[in-house]
Structure 1
Amino acid sequence: MERHDAIVIGAGLNGLVAAAYLARAGLSVLVLDRAFAPGGIAAEHEVAPGYRLPRFALGSGGLPPRIAADLDLPRHGLRFIRAEGGVTCFPDGSYHASYRDGLVHRREIARFSRRDADAFTRYRRDMLRAAGGLAPLLAGPAHTPARGIFGGLRARLSLADSIAAIAPGDLRDMLRLWTLPASDFLDAYFESDAVKAHLAAAAMMGGTLGPRTPASASRLVFPWLSEPGDATGGAPETLMPFGGPAALVQALTSVILASGGRLRMEAEVTDIRIKDRKVQGVVLANGEEIGAGAVLSGLDVKRSFLSLFQWKDLPEGLVERVGRVRMRGVAAKVNMALDAAPVFPGLPEGCPSLGGGLRLAGSLPAMERAWADWRERMPPRDPLIEILMPSFLDPSLAPRGGHVLSALVQYVPEVLHEGPWSAERRDALGDLVMTRLAEVSPGIEKHVVALEVLLPNDIENEIGLTGGDFAYGETMLDQMFANRPFPGMGGAETPLRNFYLCSPSAHPGPLVMGGAGANAASTLLGRLGKAVRT
């Protein structure tokens, strides 16, 4: 029987990161995925011949510099583009752009309020401080309750030390972020509704909270987690891999192969072999068995335990704990191929902020109403929409003169109150997105070569992500840090020996791209007494 030191289930970004670390440490690594190409939700897709974009993910974001350096990704061809922070367009025809340059960004805010332009310095300072307080908690593996009484005590003391190291003022601000509504938090800094809506729109994407919901202020800090500089700077920049997420997938795959690892696509894992709560290998859909010293799952926590194991083989109570993890779809994906560049007459000609994306948003009350519709499982009437046109920065993604457009539609329920989505409802959602786009880019509908609408249940059915939840589990405080994916299993290590979770269902969730994969590899290598090779 074929055997490896480690098998990674799923060739998504976190699975590839984990495999790259393990392969570079000298382990025999095999990555298995049921798809025909690696990448998971970041896998490249042709929405029309020659028009390439990630089918499920929006496409922005890059690995932290620490992970890119550890894996020597630049040597494998990876380059990043630093883009401005994007533009928010409002129903009244006004807009708010973000700029990395502090002077330019404050001048932009001053169009709405001179007082708010001055207040932004304090806001940026406090966001950087909050992000700095979170950094130690996100930088490495969560300290799980280790096996044995003394191991558990050491883990708890280590976590307590991390929290105690946070300055009292920073801890107070962090508690405010994790308890207050975003609207209340922003009211303490700004007076302009447009400025507040611009900041809230960027933060609410992908979450299950509205801007007036308690604890939604925590999402305001997420865009600042990797932001450098001091209070004099501007808005957080957007970091994107040149060539799109496919370039990142290609670089990670190159690291794995160059280090002796292997990838097998169209190889679906249906079962995990286990004896005495000790994982011994996997079984593929064709009946093939492959042995392994350790198995790492890049699937979400529900798929990892409830689909890959016989429930009778799991520890008592584990099925119930996994079942209580909240995973809910909150966004649909709309992909378009355009035969010409869209024109935005309401924006300054050549507006550089467009490279960082475009948000179509209303006021904070409008966002809260959209969230309420989602809670009631109603089709979105006025959704928050985030759009990225990566071909503006990377023309190679489309034929000459053409462009690709990728949109996330926020507050789209997985199932409607009246039952599953119908074809008519799906088409109506696509029409709504096109109508909203045409309001800021008249005539764009005439240039559409192809368009597809992917609902949360499509995302679940096609890539196996429970509920179509891009976050792999809600990012509320009770499901974060040492409680992710659930209390009692805070991190990559699981109650089953030799079985690790390397998807964003584990700490640090979706807040650090590739972080869960890096943490799982670090945890396994620590168990084996091996160091991470950098």
Structure 2
Amino acid sequence: MERHDAIVIGAGLNGLVAAAYLAQAGLDVLVLDRGTAPGGLASEHEIAPGYRLPRFTLGSGGLPPRIVSDLGLADHGLRFIRAEGGVTCFPDGRYHASYRDGVVYRREISRFSRVDADAFTRYRRDMLRAVRRLAPLLARPAHSGARGLFGRLRAQLAHADLIAAMSPDDMRDVLRLWTLPASDFLDTYFEDDFVKAHLAAAAMIGGTLGPCTPTSAARLVLPWLAETGDASGGAPETLMPAGGTSALVQALVSAVGAAGGVLRMEAEVTDVRIRDGKVKGIVLANGEEIEARAVLSGLDVKRSFLSLFQWKDLPEGLVERVGRVRMKGVAAKVNLALDAAPVFPGLPEGCPSIGGGLRLAGTIPAMERAFADWRERMPPRDSLIDVLIPSLLDPSLAPEGGHVLSALVHYVPEELHDGPWTGERRDALGDLVMTRLAEISPGIAEHVIAIEILLPDDVENEIGLTSGDLSHGETTLDQLFANRPFPGAGGAETPLKNFYLCSPSAHPGPLVMGGAGANAASTLLAAMGKRGRA
């Protein structure tokens, strides 16, 4: 029977990151995926001949420099394009652009409020402070790789030490950030509604909280996680992999292969084998059995436990604990192929911030109404929409003169209160997006040569992500850090010996691209007594 040191289920970004770390540490690694191409959520496809874009996500964001360096991804061709932080466009024709240069960005804010331009220095300083406090928690496993009471106690004490080292002022700031609604938190810095809406819109995308929901202020830190510098700088930048997300995926695949790892596509894992209380290997859909010292699942937490195991083989109470993990679809994706560049007459000619994306948003009360509609499972009426046109900065993604556009439509319910998503309702969602786009780019509909509308249910059916939840589980405070994937099993380790989670269902979730894969590899290597760089 075929045997490996480690089997990774799923060739998404986190699965590939985990496999690359393990292979570089000398383990014999096999990656299995049911799809025809690697990448998972990051996989690209052609919406029309020559027009490439990530099907399910926007495609912005970069791996942490630590992971890029550890895995030597630059040697495998990986490069990133740096862009400005994007533009928020409001229904009344106003816009707010982000700039990395602090002087330029404060000048932009002063168009709305000179007081807010000065306040931004304090806001940026506090966001960077929050990132510095958060970074150590996100950069390592939630629990030590050592098993047993003392190993977990050491992990808990390490987190306690970080808290104990905070000054009273720091503790006050932490409590404000992690408990207040985003609206209240922003009110303590800024006076202008459009400045506050611009900052809130960038943070609310992808979450299941509204801007007026308690604890939503913590999401304001997310755009700053990769930011460096001091308080004199501007807005966070946008990163995109040169050559599209396929270039990122291929760099990881190349790193896995160069270290001796093996990738098999069209190899669906249907069962994980347990013997004497320990995971011993997997079974493929074709009946093939493969043994392994450890199995890492890149599937979401519900799929990992509830679909890969016989429930009777799981520890008592585990099925119920996994079932209580909240996973909710909250976004739809609209992909466009355009035969010409969209024109934005309401924005300054040559505005560099457009390359970082556009957000179509109302003020905070409008965002809260959209959130309320989502909670009531109403069809979207005024959704928050995040738009990226990556071909503006990377012409390789479309034929000469053409462009691709990705729109992530936020606050779209997985199921509607009065019935299913019919074809008519799906088309209505596409019409809503096109109407909103036409408000800032008149005539854009005349240049559409292909359109694709994907609902949360499509994401679940096509790549097996429960409820189409792009975050692999809600990112509310009770489902983060040591509580992710669920209380009592924080991090990559699971109640099953030799079975690990390397998907964003585990710490640090979707907050750090590739972070869950790196942490899972680090945890497994520690358990095996091997030294690795993860």
TM-score range, shorter chain: over 0.9
Other structure's SS at 2:82 match? strand
SS at match of 1:116: helix
The residue matched to 1:490 in structure 2 has which SS? coil
- Residues 317-396 of structure 1 aligned to structure 2 (within 5 Å): 317-396=317-396
**Alpha-carbon distance in structure 2 between the residues aligned to 1:386 and 1:94:** 17
Residue-by-residue CA offset, 1:51-94 (whole Å, 9 max, x unaligned)? 00010011000000000000011011000111100000000001
SS of 1:263's equivalent?
strand
Alignment partner, residue 209 of structure 2? 209
Q: CA deviation at 1:421?
A: 0.6
Query: Paired residue for 1:197?
Result: 197
How far the C-alpha of 1:174 sits from its partner, in A, is: 1.7
Q: Is 1:75 matched up with 2:75? A: yes
Listed one character per residue, the Cα deviations across residues 421-455 of structure 1 (whole Å, up to 9, x for unaligned) are 11100000000000000000000000001001000
What is the alpha-carbon distance in structure 1 between the residues aligned to residue 144 and residue 223 of structure 2? 27
Q: The residue matched to 1:175 in structure 2 has which SS? A: helix
Distance in 2, matches of 1:15 and 1:383, equals 32
C-alpha distance in 1 between matches for 2:129 and 2:153: 30
Q: 1:281 maps to what in 2?
A: 281
Structure 1 residue 134 corresponds to structure 2 residue 171: no
Matching of residues 135-174 of structure 1 within 5 Å: 135-143=135-143, 147-174=147-174
2:135 alignment partner, SS class? helix
Match of 1:405 in 2: 405
Classify the secondary structure of the residue corresponding to 1:37: coil
Aligned to 1:432: 432
Question: What is the CA–CA distance in structure 1 between the aligned matches of 2:475 and 2:168, rounded to whole Å?
Answer: 24
- Cα distance in structure 1, aligned partners of 2:168 and 2:295: 41
Show the counterpart of 1:514: 514
Secondary structure of the 2:282 match is strand
Measured against aligned partners, the alpha-carbon deviations of 1:229-266 in whole angstroms (never above 9, x if no partner) come to 00000000111111111111010000000111000001
Which residue of structure 1 lines up, in the alignment, with residue 235 of structure 2? Answer: 235
Match of 1:262 in 2: 262
Shift of 1:161: 1.9
Instruction: Give me the whole-angstrom Cα distance separating, in 1, the residues matched to 2:244 and 2:164.
Output: 40
Q: Give the C-alpha shift of residue 533 in structure 1.
A: 4.5
Shift of the 3–315 alpha-carbon distance from structure 1 to 2, 3 Å rule, reads same
How far has the Cα of 1:11 moved from its partner? Answer: 0.4
Distance of 1:310 and 1:317 partners within structure 2 = 14
SS in 2 for 1:272: strand
**Residue aligning to 1:309:** 309
How far 1:472 sits from its partner (Å)? 0.7
1:172-218 CA distances to partner (integer Å, 9 max, x unpaired)?
Answer: 21221111010000011111111000000000000001111111101
- Aligned equivalents of 1:294 and 1:168: distance in 2? 44
Query: What displacement does 1:310 show?
Result: 0.3
What SS class does the counterpart of residue 486 from structure 1 fall into? coil
Tell me by how many angstroms 1:418 deviates: 1.1
For residues 377 and 321 of structure 2, the distance between their equivalents in structure 1, rounded to whole angstroms, comes to 25
**Is 1:87–1:359's contact at 8 Å kept on the other side of the alignment?**
yes
1:57 counterpart residue number:
57
Percentage identity across paired residues of the two chains: 81
Contact (CA 8 Å) 2:144, 2:523: kept in 1 or not? no
On the 8 A contact 1:30/1:264 being kept in 2, the answer is yes
**1:368-401 deviation digits (Å, cap 9, x = unpaired):** 0000000000000000000000000100000000
TM-score under structure 2 length normalisation: 0.99
Does the C-alpha gap of structure 1 residues 166 and 512 become closer, same or farther in structure 2, counting only changes over 3 Å? farther
Q: Distance in 2 between matches of 1:411 and 1:100?
A: 29
Deviates more, 1:172-181 or 1:22-31: 172-181
Q: Take 1:148 and 1:338, find their aligned partners in 2: how far apart are those partners?
A: 56
Deviation track 1:145-167 (CA, whole Å, cap 9, x = no partner) reads: 96433333323222212332344
Equivalent residue for 2:524?
Answer: 524
Unpaired runs of at least 5, structure 2: none
Residue identity opposite 1:518 in structure 2: A
Please give the secondary structure, in 2, of the residue aligned with 1:255.
Answer: helix
How far did 1:144 drift? 5.8
- Corresponding letter in the other structure for 2:28: S
Paired residue total: 534
Q: Which amino acid aligns with 1:506?
A: A
The alpha carbon displacement at 1:480 in A equals 0.5
The Cα shift of 1:168 comes to 3.5
Structure 1 portions without partners, runs of 5+: none
In the alignment, what sits opposite 1:40?
40
Cα separation, 1, equivalents of 2:87 and 2:357: 6
Map 1:115-134; keep pairs closer than 5 Å: 115-134=115-134
